[in-house]
Amino acid sequence: MPIPILKLLAQRIALGILLLFAVSVLIFAGTQILPGDVAQSILGQSATPVALANLRESLGLNDPAYVRYFRWLWGILHGDLGTSLTSQLDIASSIKERLWNTLFLAFWAAAVSIPLAVILGLTAVRYRNGPVDKLISGLALASTSVPEFFIGYLLVYFLAVKFQIFPGISTVYDGMPFLEKMKAIALPATALTLVVLAHMMRMTRAAILNVMQSAYIETAELKGLTAFEVIRKHALPNAIAPIINVVMLNLAFLVVGVVVVEVIFVYPGMGQYLVDHVAKRDVPVVQAVGLIFAAVYILLNMVADVAAILANPRLRHPK
């Protein structure tokens, strides 16, 4: 592998680690300035001052903020996400199944939306400025303008309540038959697909149209290649870097941005877990979930940068 590529890869990895460290500081600081008292939330309003003081001491809340931060960071570096204040359960064990559920939902939404977005983008370019292009672009713009919670409620009303095709509550559990699980996630997966599909399609179309202005595209057309062959053999390979970037960004959204969709469909994933414990002011859980979401987002963005670097022929074949 050429030296310039190795240098850029090392820079991206170092930047990702530094960014994750900065995000951990922001997450910890953000949870510390939240209103309310953790000890009061656990013991209730009838707790005595002595009981509150003892609990704060046992939880280490009386220590300086920087001491608590480095203690928390040290535990994370050793695989210890802490213990939930409300349930007294190990957070890592509680998150494991919920993280798998979120990844399962995001995977099937991505499996549908990514190829469909590329196909629709290619079709829009092939028939650019025609009725097909205008129809696809119009539907994409309308879908982008509608928030995910509204799409979710529409799906629940029509497909779960009115026609009763799919369940309105997406209950999944360990050992559930695959077909039943797919039916259970049909509505949240459809909502996520509709949210990211339009954005990926529009960016795919824009990236390919930008490449279509190049001189070598005109040369390919003069050779007698069909419009589809020009797009597939010449435009798409040269537009792959920005397409990869937008795909990775939307994959990050599928994992990190599922909070609203999971709450609507009561899906037992990371988003629902986060919302439940924010309401209880369970700070260790909020910190752990927030850091995991940040790590996934940074990792996928780093993968997008690396893929874009590897897709750049000027870096693969330096002079």
Residues paired with residue 90 on neighbouring β-strands, in sequence order: 83
The two structure tokens encoding residue 72: 């928390």
Integer distance in angstroms from the first to the last C-alpha of the chain? 14
- Of 112, 106, 159, 146, the closest CA to residue 267 belongs to 106
* pLDDT of the residue at 315: 56
Residue 98 is predicted with a pLDDT of: 92
- Cβ atoms of residues 149 and 260 within 8 Å: yes
pLDDT digit string (tens) for the chain, length 319 residues: 566 777 877 888 899 899 999 999 999 998 887 776 777 777 777 788 888 888 888 877 788 888 989 999 999 988 888 888 878 889 999 899 899 999 999 999 999 999 999 999 989 988 888 999 999 989 888 888 888 889 999 999 999 999 999 999 998 988 899 999 999 999 999 999 998 998 899 999 998 988 888 888 888 888 888 888 888 888 888 888 788 888 888 888 888 888 889 999 999 999 999 988 887 778 889 999 999 999 999 998 888 887 777 776 655 555 5
Sign (positive/negative) of CA torsion 285, 291, 294, 299?
negative
As a whole number of angstroms, the distance between CA 184 and CA 94 comes to 21
Q: What percent of the residues of the chain are helix, what percent strand, and what percent coil, each to the nearest 5?
A: 75, 0, 25
Residue with token string 């798998």: 100
Query: How much is the pLDDT for 314?
Result: 59
The CA-atom distances, in angstroms, between 121 and each of 109, 115, 139 are 18, 10, 12
pLDDT of residue 319: 52
Provide DSSP, 9-39.
HHHHHHHHHHHHHHHHHHHHHHHHTSSS-HH
- In this predicted structure, what is the pLDDT of residue 317? 57
233 vs 117: CA distance, rounded Å: 18
Domains of the chain: 3-77 (no CATH), 99-268 (1.10.3720.10)
Q: In the structure encoding, which two tokens stand for residue 170, read together?
A: 């997406």
Hey, what are 181's tokens?
């699980």
CB atoms within 10 A of CB 108: 20
Q: What is the pTM of this model?
A: 0.86
* pLDDT at res. 230: 86
CB 95 within 8 A of CB 289: yes
What residues contact residue 254 under an 8 Å CB cut-off, 6+ apart?
A: 105, 106, 109, 110, 192, 196
Distance CA 106, CA 153 (A): 19
| CA distances from residue 257 to 20, 148, 192, 242, 284 in whole angstroms, order as listed | 18, 10, 9, 21, 20
pLDDT at 1: 55
